[in-house]
Structure 1
């Protein structure tokens, strides 16, 4: 049974985590379906924005506790050779990593609980709109683990090194309203309005041509100044030629 739904509404796609009875807890099946959804949507030229959300009471409670059992993911990683263990972890990382490379913006609509891998999935998105009473935490260090799905990259980029280290090393919990005050999310709204707000925002973004969205996103996400400027110049050239009907 699938644990992810992909829905289309014109140029805006909805990627729905679909394990509501488990608070959308994560494991290898969800990661595989996220990778497949990313490949499918990235290859579709009609998609110009996406909303990522969780069905049920939470966005995602993080790693499924079943993955701690002897036959679970963490035990398979621990028993594997170093090279194989890195491959397994990389597969999970790629389930989130495609979002940064997607040729369209992805907006996370976060409500309920988003902790551990759940918050890291939201951090991978381009924009986050959260419920003001949501519970957020990078919980791994407090549990004797390391946040290896992107928080060590995304948090410093969003809020700076010192604040990122504070959240990662203390594993402290934030509300959605506190996350907005930190600049971790775009805005915090009442819980009942999260999906509507995120969808309306994505629809606004999707009014722009896909090429302009893709190039502007890629250039803005590139941390190196010269590479960012190069991407912006390449994108400008493609978009201007398309607008003017001039062949390259």
Structure 2
């Protein structure tokens, strides 16, 4: 599937989503968000998919929201600003719709891997954080730059950051907008591994191939249990997931047998 602002390719257990606006460093638009949400729904409905690798076409992962969406009178943020105050606030449905571009990644019954090179600023950083795993270039540049414009990150960083690095570091990264490298992201626990730029795609593909050996039900139930903050509820989800996995597993039938690789 190739749409105006993203492409989706691959087959079998591993698929790839590429942001496809290289001339704009894959700056994001409402159209790109709609296409990402649609791709997520289609991939979730395909029982073969076990891993999805998200990357940017060209030099960068994503420079964040397209600044034209702030500047133009018909841009996304300008249209939001035109809404009068209300209770409930009439801005909220539009913001919620945009959030679905990334929100499906946590719910997806497969692992989502960000392969990050170049810059991941603002909404680009939030997209990387929305993925389950980040494999990054040593010199990749990350920052939550929303504070520069008097805004806050509303596409998921307020959830993913404190879970990963704690509330204090999350506050610091959001309220200062400070920049950090891929190597520093690994040190902070925000990325799994860092590599030379030229090796990021290969490393992400190799990791996807490793995870794709796990049954989809195992991936889905593990993600669900890990995403649940309540310990008792997490254990209940793990138990239900284990029950489902046991019913599907190819268990040894005698002392000399061993399960087949899924």
State the TM-score, normalized to the length of structure 2: 0.91
* Separation (CA, whole Å) in 2 of partners of 1:34 and 1:80: 25
CA shift for structure 1 position 143: 2.3
Q: Residue deviations 1:50-82, cap 9 Å, x none?
A: 100000110000000110111100011111255
Partner of 2:69: 67
Partner of 1:104: 110
Partner of 1:123: 129
Q: Residue deviations 1:62-104, cap 9 Å, x none?
A: 0001101111000111112554310110111111000000000
* Separation (CA, whole Å) in 1 of partners of 2:164 and 2:128: 12
8 Å CA contact retained: 1:142, 1:169 = no
* Separation (CA, whole Å) in 2 of partners of 1:37 and 1:200: 22
CA shift for structure 1 position 223: 1.4
* Separation (CA, whole Å) in 1 of partners of 2:248 and 2:191: 34
Partner of 1:199: 205
Structure 1 unaligned regions, length at least 5:
none
Structure 2 unaligned regions, length at least 5:
252-262
* Counterpart selection for 1:35 from 34, 37, 55: 37
Q: 1:1-248 residue pairs with structure 2 within 5 A?
A: 2-68=4-70, 69-81=72-84, 82=86, 83-243=89-249
CA shift for structure 1 position 227: 1.4
Name the SS for the 1:211 alignment partner: helix
* Separation (CA, whole Å) in 2 of partners of 1:186 and 1:53: 15
* Separation (CA, whole Å) in 1 of partners of 2:227 and 2:212: 18
Query: Which entry has the higher C-alpha Rg, 1 or 2?
Result: 2
Please state which structure has a larger fraction of its residues in helix.
1
Q: C-alpha root-mean-square deviation of aligned residues, in Å?
A: 1.2
Q: Residue deviations 1:194-232, cap 9 Å, x none?
A: 111111101100101111111011111111111111111
CA shift for structure 1 position 244: 5.9
State the TM-score, normalized to the length of structure 1: 0.96
* Separation (CA, whole Å) in 2 of partners of 1:187 and 1:219: 24
CA shift for structure 1 position 9: 3.4
* Separation (CA, whole Å) in 2 of partners of 1:94 and 1:238: 28
* Separation (CA, whole Å) in 1 of partners of 2:246 and 2:191: 32
